[in-house]
Chains A and B, each alone.
Chain A
Amino acid sequence: MAGVVFEHVYKRYSGNVTAIADMNVEIKDKEFMVLVGPSGCGKSTALRMVAGLEEISDGMVKIGERVVNDVAPKDRDIAMVFQSYALYPHMTVYDNLSFGLKLRKTPKAEIDKRVREAARILGLENYLSRKPKALSGGQRQRVALGRAIVRKPQAFLMDEPLSNLDAKLRVQTRVEILKLHKSLQTTFIYVTHDQVEAMTMGDRIVVMKDGLVQQVDTPQTLYHKPVNVFVAGFIGSPAMNFLSARVTGDGRASLKGDGFEIPMEERVLSGAGARRDQDVIVGLRPEDLKDARFPGREGMPRVPAKVEVVESMGSEIFAYITVGGKTLTSRMDPRSEDLQPGQPVQLAVDTDHLHLFDPKTERALVLQGEPARV
């Protein structure tokens, strides 16, 4: 068991393509760390560099205290679960599970013990003599997990292990992997493009974009204190709404934009890092745009809007509404079921959770002046 550290890690391909630039992340021992980002952001490359399947162009990767830049994958004592599972098609489940142990010259009795234990944990006992071809997608996925478990490695690396499963199985397996992490007490590094997976599974999350680490923090902090427009928009579903506005007003301040004016308390405004006469990007979570008709919302600023589409999920309603030509998403409770497309609606804006960003740097205004932190 060991932590994994990235120190000024770069990955460059021939022809001046930089896949990862100056990555500095410290993954603690026994931590469940998720690397998340859109495709091509470098998250898989980062994982593969830990596995030793990708060369490190510059910087250092440490597993435990050991620098592993020049250590072959087989000597790194890590296990990896691939998106395609990469089961050996010519071997039975038993042989798939025991392959790594056999190569390490583990005694036969020990191999058998560990394989049977892993099979028991994963419910594969009845399939040990089958070939991967004769297994369902979910079973194959569990064999891939089992192949990692039996090794008792320093760290588990998982490259989008759930993306080939159907939605229901994915949620189930998500829980199983979390349980596994708890019982194995080992470092997990988990790559996904799905922010829901990241939010529900990670102790901490690394958000990446274009080879650059955007923010490393706990799911809650990422959600409530995103450092920039990208993280704000990437984390959370439905995504955060963004509006261009200007801080105006003599006397009482307000955020004024196309088709709306949100009066703001000075306290909130300066708390969000904004000054007078400044252009800003306003970020509003869907749940902070409420239907103004219901009690408890009397004191909130109002924004007139028009309903475009209403999607009822049963327990909640997603309303797509236009404000000054921009379409925003609002998460409403079932009381708003009577909203009809085309109908005007008054929105109550919960300004306590408002996010303000610099339109040029796209960084959160509260962080303005602070050095870029990763």
Chain B
Amino acid sequence: MDIVRITFLVGAVVLVPAALIAYVLVTDLGVRLLPPRTQPRIRPWLWILPSMLAVTVFLIYPTIATIWLSFLDKAGQTFVGLANYGEVLGDGGVLVSIRNNIFWLVGYTALVLVFGLILAVLADRVPYESAVKSLIFMPMAISFVAASVIWGFMFAYQPPGAPQTGTLNALLNLFHGSPIAWLIDHRTNNAALILVAVWVWTGFAMVITSAALKGIPEELLEAARVDGATELTVFRRIIIPLLAPTLTVIGTTLVIFALKAFDIVYVMTSGNYNTNVMALRMYQEMNNNHNNARASALAVLLLLAIVPVLVFNVRRLRFQEAIR
């Protein structure tokens, strides 16, 4: 059995590149038959054709199919127009998910950016910088599922009086506070979930910000100091504006991630206690309710939410290339 698998694997690793090289060589023979002046215009298109095909099959087609599905009934037979969207948007659970996604969008993005920035600036000023940065970056290497399990221990709750096994509640106990059901209490649970994601991603924001920070010439800061700026003014008027492009890139990445939030909620609360998010709700519609139409409608809504961010990102990229 294993032999078959290994053969298949090796075959894939060796044969796919071989096939691509053969494709390039063979098509190039064809291109050479064309008049010399048209050759440079045809060649690039032939080279990107395989990836264009892959993108079409694996991205464009599913997107169109999903949009189409969202206009059909549950069985996928009859066209029902916007009925699925009406149902979805009339559902209290979905509205809670949308609200929670907005929490994620704002809270998660802002906290990761702010913590990343603060840590990058602080780390820049200590001699043991790389050690600190490695430590803070480490959660990035952990999957969200594992991070959720770890934080499950942090948030664990026992009724008052019982020994508290969760770290946070044990601490509360130490100061004679009554334990909090972090993941169940409506006042804390969304924040608790977002905190886990913040813990994982802060290191990423810090590393990128730190690199951009080091790209700011020291003389610029010195010039500002001589010009009469306090350290705070230097930070506000020089460092922040110069970091802005970097912070925007990180920010948009985080926004997209916040809209896609799934794993942490799935593992820690399964979306119960008013912690559900759109992506998880979509999964539940598909897997638990077997309603592909509504799941598709949710997917399309998520896609619509992400498109502006994507457009912004691409524009930003073009702008930066233009001013370079």
Contact = CB atoms under 8 A, between A and B. Distances in A.
Interface of A: 51-53, 72-74, 76, 78-80, 82-84, 86-90, 99-100, 103-104, 133, 147, 151
A80 B241 contact: no
Contact of B227 (A52, A133, A147): A147
**A interface, over-half SS:** loop
B220 interface: yes
Nearest to A159: B219
A103 B223 contact: no
Given A53-B222, A88-B238, A90-B241, A100 B227 contact: yes
B242 interface: yes
B222 A103 contact: no
B225 A103 contact: no
B223 A82 contact: yes
A100 B238 CA distance: 13
Contacts of A80: 222-223, 226
B323 interface: yes
Interface in B251-294: none
Given A103-B233, A133-B323, A86 B228 contact: no
Contact of B228 (A83, A87, A89, A104): A104
A74 B223 contact: no
B229 A103 contact: yes
A84 B217 contact: yes
Interface string B226-242: 11111001000110011
B224 interface: yes
Which of B222, B223, B238, B242 has the most CB atoms of chain A within a 10 A radius of its CB? Answer: B223
Nearest to A157: B226
A90 B242 contact: yes
Given A74-B225, A103-B233, A104-B228, A86 B242 contact: no
Given A86-B219, A90-B241, A53 B227 contact: no
A86 B222 contact: yes
A33 B296 CA distance: 76
Interface of B: 217, 219-220, 222-230, 233, 237-238, 241-242, 244, 323
Contacts of A133: 323
A74 B323 contact: no
**B interface, over-half SS:** helix
A74 B224 CA distance: 8
B218 to A, nearest CB: 9
Contacts of B233: 103
B220 A74 contact: no
Contacts of B238: 88
Contacts of B228: 74, 100, 103-104
Contacts of B242: 89-90
17 contacts: A53-B222, A73-B222, A73-B225, A74-B225, A74-B227, A76-B226, A80-B226, A84-B217, A86-B219, A86-B222, A88-B224, A89-B242, A90-B242, A99-B224, A100-B228, A103-B229, A151-B227
Contacts of A74: 225-230
A100 B224 CA distance: 8
A104 B229 CA distance: 9
A296 B311 CA distance: 84
Contacts of A79: 226-227
Contacts of A89: 220, 242
Contacts of B241: 90
Contacts of A83: 219
Contacts of B230: 74
A90 B242 CA distance: 7
A88 B220 contact: yes
A88 B219 CA distance: 10
Contacts of A103: 227-229, 233
